[in-house]
A and B are shown apart, each in its own frame.
Chain A
Amino acid sequence: MWLLDRDLWTEILNTLSKNMFRTFLTMLGVFFAMIILLLLLGATNGMSNSFDKIFEGTSSNSLFMWSQQTSEPYKGFERGRRIRFTTDDVELLKKQIPEIDIISPRIQLGGYNTPVSVYRNGRTSGSSVLGDYPLIDEVTKKNIVEGRFLNNKDIEYSKKVCVIGQEAYEQLFDKGEEAIGHSIRVNGVFFTVIGIYKKNENIDIDGDNAVFIPFTTCKKTFGGGNQVGFMAMTIYPEYTVPPIEAKIKKLLKNKYSIHPDDERAIGSFDMSRIFNSVSAFTGVLNGFSFFVGIFTLLAGIIAVSNILLITVKERTKEIGIRRALGATPRVVKRQIVLEAILITVFAGLLGFTLSTAILAGANVIFEGMENVPITNAIFSIPQFLISFFLLVVLSVLIGLIPANRAVKVKPIDALREE
């Protein structure tokens, strides 16, 4: 197998290394093209990572739903009727809509419906108070910095415990003051702080001026019957959210005798919509940079071919000598194609190494910066493999041009004395 022929490779390596300057020039094109391609890919990947970070902690297939007032008269009801979801609705949805993975009801104190005061040692924080199940943590992840989030025991025993946001903490406590194990008052009722969370970087629906208390405690302590203000859901990833959203609304509209076209009675927010538009954007960006990068690479390889073509002309005499000494056209072609491959592969690997180093360096620098929308910029292994595969295939194809040129000149013409 000639591919493993050590002599062949020695001959090629010799030719390349003894013509260092020529080899170097030839390599430059591919080297820079590879760097540009990989940096482009790395940068766009870094940008998509940044976008992903925005959604970090929020399940992409999540749906939030709450009740409002009707805007259409229907079945003898006048418009403006206040709809109130109840825990029965939660059970209904669990039963009737199998596409729902998690459903977590919430009661909200404060805001425009019920006034709430959060108080400690003469300070108030103006926080909203949310009666939640621990499940909410799986829909929008709470970034706990101290202590823990609510758990099932808190729900079961309706414990008077709370998890507070960073801002609520700052409003109620002195800087550095211990909060865990200490109490705050919600509408005059003492709650022990068991955890502090920091809000997620970018998208966070609840913010960090909030106090989370167990759903059951909230109901027992502050009343409100079986009403539910808000339902957070996640849909199994194999489904898309909008049709399920419609299905849920239809079910609830039917139950509450809401006009089918009433858009206002039930409010909802579909996180996947934003998520999808951003992923579509990064997808396009990725495709575009790959496209640009591949063309850069192509340009680099054409440059190699060009230089090889020039050197083949320069080497007419050498090639003529080799052929007079018994090199068959096939052997001559093979050598030139392999030279092309070796140059591009080597230059490609150098480019790969350097761009990896550049990206690694850039990542270290950008990590400390808030405003650079690039996170962990690196090309993926498949991206690299595809680029590399293309590089080799193209270099073979394009190496054939100078190779054919090399054997077109008859040895006698190559050797003719001037």
Chain B
Amino acid sequence: MIEIKDLHKSYKMGSNSLHVLKGLNFNIKEGELVAIMGSSGSGKSTLLNILGMLDELDEGSYTLDGVPIKNLNETKAAQYRNKFLGFIFQSFNLINYKTAVENVALPLYYQGVNRKERQEKALKYLEQVGLKEWAGHLPSELSGGQKQRVAIARALAAEPKVLMADEPTGALDSQTSYEVMDLIQKINDDGNTILVVTHEPDIADMCKRIVHLKDGVIVEDKKVDQVRASQYV
């Protein structure tokens, strides 16, 4: 599903240049649940942003579902994001004046799905994350865990090829974190490919594979026995 070859990325700051990613190679197959681990500043978000077409790589190649991703203009990138990717952010990034169901329906709107179908799908995914009764509520009326579940429903709604979550539990207490991870595991059980960026080992252990980043290189890439989050819920 995802193929990365010799990926380099550096940030230019004035005359200095910060080399953040120094030649990464890895592949992710369909249906995987991969944790990208590493301490703060190790380049996890940078990697995820490149994979998410929110940022561009300097060197190397990136292929998503057989499509080479390079030299995208902003329009093309937006279309690819809409078609291929679902994002889950640490701070949820819901639109605050839209209700839960409206937030979930938004990527479908940009896909050009008609109104009725949008509503149906959005409700279906809200149901999947257990928030059907909260459909008409604004984000401000929801708890952190509920907000993240709405965000997950939104990411699912577009039926993307890959879900990308940057510290999805970073703003949540551990109990709520496990609930969210339980949901992510269940979504993965249905066959969805998911990337989770985290610096918390217990969250990483709930994935099926851990890619460990340190100083811009992969120091470890291992399959793990998944710890099911449901046992803590």
Contacts and interface: CB of A to CB of B under 8 A. Distances in A.
Contact of B110 (A15, A19, A320, A326): A326
A328 B115 contact: no
Tell me if A's interface is mostly helix, strand, loop or mixed. helix
A411 B95 CA distance: 15
A15 B74 CA distance: 24
A327 B110 contact: yes
A411 B106 contact: no
A324 B87 contact: yes
B109 A11 contact: yes
Contacts of B107: 325-326
Contacts of B111: 326
A328 B75 contact: yes
Contact of B95 (A318, A326, A331): A318
B143 interface: no
Interface in B61-104: 74-75, 78-79, 81-83, 87, 89-91, 93-98, 102
B115 A7 contact: yes
A327 to B, nearest CB: 5
Contacts, number: 71
A232 B152 CA distance: 91
A7 B109 contact: yes
22 contacts: A7-B114, A11-B109, A14-B98, A15-B97, A18-B98, A321-B94, A321-B95, A323-B74, A324-B87, A324-B93, A325-B81, A325-B82, A326-B78, A326-B81, A326-B83, A326-B107, A326-B158, A328-B75, A330-B75, A407-B74, A415-B89, A417-B89
Given A7-B114, A324-B87, 15 more contacts: A15-B97, A318-B95, A318-B96, A321-B93, A322-B106, A322-B110, A325-B87, A325-B107, A325-B154, A326-B107, A326-B111, A328-B75, A328-B79, A328-B110, A417-B90
Interface of B: 49, 52, 54-55, 74-75, 78-79, 81-83, 87, 89-91, 93-98, 102, 106-107, 109-111, 114-115, 154, 158
Interface of A: 6-7, 10-11, 14-15, 18-19, 317-318, 320-331, 407, 410-412, 415, 417
8 cross-chain pairs, A with B, having the tightest CB-CB distances, nearest first: A326-B82, A326-B110, A18-B97, A412-B54, A328-B78, A325-B107, A328-B75, A321-B93
